[in-house]
Amino acid sequence: MSFGKYITATKVSWQAGFVYRLNFVMWRVRMVIQLLALYFLWLAITSKSPNAFGYDQATMLVYVLGSSVMRALVFSSRSIDVQGEISNGDLNNYLIKPLNYFRYWFFRDFADKALNIIFSIGELVVLFLLLRPPVIIQSDPLAWLGFLVMAPLAMILYYYFSLLISMTTFWYPEGDGWPQRFFVFTILESLSGGLFPLDILPAPVYSVLQNLPTAYFIFVPMQVYLGRIQGMELVGAIGVTVFWVLVLWWLARVVWHRGLKVYGAYGR
Amino acid sequence: MNNNENMLSMFPRKLRKYWLVWWTSAKLSLSSNMATRGASGLFILGKLFRFGAFVYFLFVLGGGVNEVSGYNLSALIIFFLVFNLFDLFGQLFFRGIYRFRQQVVSGEFDFRLVKPISPLFQALTRHTDFLDIPLLLMVIVALVGNIDLVPAGSWWIFGLVSLAGFILITAIHVVVASLGVITTEVDHSIMIYRDLAMMARFPVDIYTDAIRGLLTFVIPIAIIFTYPAKAFLGLLTWENGLVAFGVSLLFLYISLKLWRYALTQYSSASS
Task: List the beta bridge partners of residue B68.
Answer: B71
Rounded mean pLDDT of B45-54?
Answer: 95
ipTM of the complex: 0.88
**B33, B44, B48, B50: which to substitute to probe chain A, counting the most A Cβ within 10 Å?**
B50
Q: Is residue A19 part of a domain?
A: yes
Q: Reduce the DSSP state of residue A194 to 3 states and report it.
A: coil
The residue ranges of DSSP E strands in A163-240, in sequence order, are none
Q: Is residue B46 part of a domain?
A: no
Question: Which residues 166-205 in chain B show a CB within 8 A of chain A?
Answer: 183, 185, 188-189, 191-192, 195-196, 198-199, 201-202
Cβ within 8 Å, pair A200-B192: no
Question: Which residues 9-28 in chain A show a CB within 8 A of chain B?
Answer: 22-23, 26-27
Round to the nearest angstrom and report the end-to-end CA distance of chain A.
31
Rounded mean pLDDT of B115-128?
Answer: 92
Q: How far apart are CA A229 and CA B181, in angstroms?
A: 51
pLDDT for A68-106, tens place per residue? 999 989 998 888 899 999 999 999 989 989 889 999 999
User: Same domain for B106 and B173?
Assistant: yes
- Helix residue ranges per DSSP H, chain A: 4-19, 21-48, 57-75, 82-88, 92-95, 101-131, 141-167, 178-191, 203-209, 219-225, 231-262
For the cut 50, the answer to whether the pLDDT of residue B1 exceeds it is: no
- Which residue range(s) make up the domain with B249? 74-265
How many folded domains does chain A comprise? Answer: 1
What residues contact B67, with CB distance under 8 A and at least 6 apart?
A: A48
- Whole-angstrom CA distances from B160 to A28, B225, B234 are 36, 13, 13
C-beta separation of A89 from A267 below 8 A: yes
Query: What pLDDT score was predicted for residue B263?
Result: 93
What angle in degrees, to the nearest 10, is found between the helix axes of A57-75 and A101-131? 150
Q: Which residues in chain A have their CB less than 8 angstroms from residue B212's CB?
A: none
Query: What pLDDT score was predicted for residue B15?
Result: 87
CA B2 to chain CA mean position, Å? 33
Q: Which residues in chain A have their CB less than 8 angstroms from residue B57's CB?
A: 190, 195-196
Main-chain dihedrals φ then ψ at residue B180, nearest 5 degrees: -65, -40
Query: What pLDDT score was predicted for residue B253?
Result: 97
Query: What pLDDT score was predicted for residue B137?
Result: 96
Query: How much of chain B exceeds pLDDT 90, in percent?
Result: 65
Query: What pLDDT score was predicted for residue B107?
Result: 85
* Contact status of A185 with chain B (Cβ, < 8 Å): yes
Residues of chain A with pLDDT under 50: none
User: Same domain for B107 and B14?
Assistant: no
- Helices and strands in chain B, H and E counts: 14, 0
For the cut 70, the answer to whether the pLDDT of residue B13 exceeds it is: yes
Between B222 and A52, name the one with better pLDDT. B222
Q: Which residues in chain A have their CB less than 8 angstroms from residue B65's CB?
A: 45, 48-49, 52
Query: What pLDDT score was predicted for residue B176?
Result: 93
For the cut 50, the answer to whether the pLDDT of residue B59 exceeds it is: yes
Q: Reduce the DSSP state of residue B131 to 3 states and report it.
A: helix
- Nearest residue on chain B to A199, alpha-carbon basis: B60
What type of residue sits at position B21?
Answer: V
Q: Is residue B222 part of a domain?
A: yes
Rounded mean pLDDT of B176-197?
Answer: 86
Rounded mean pLDDT of B92-108?
Answer: 88
How near does any CA of chain A get to the CA of B111, in Å?
25
pLDDT for A31-66, tens place per residue? 999 999 999 999 988 888 888 888 999 999 999 999
C-beta separation of B208 from B129 below 8 A: no
Q: Is residue B178 part of a domain?
A: yes
User: Same domain for B22 and B127?
Assistant: no
Pick from A30, A175, A195: CB nearest B192: A30
- Which residue range(s) make up the domain with A32? 4-262
Q: Which residues in chain B have their CB less than 8 angstroms from residue A182's CB?
A: 42-43, 46
Predicted confidence band of residue B3 (pLDDT cuts 50, 70, 90): low
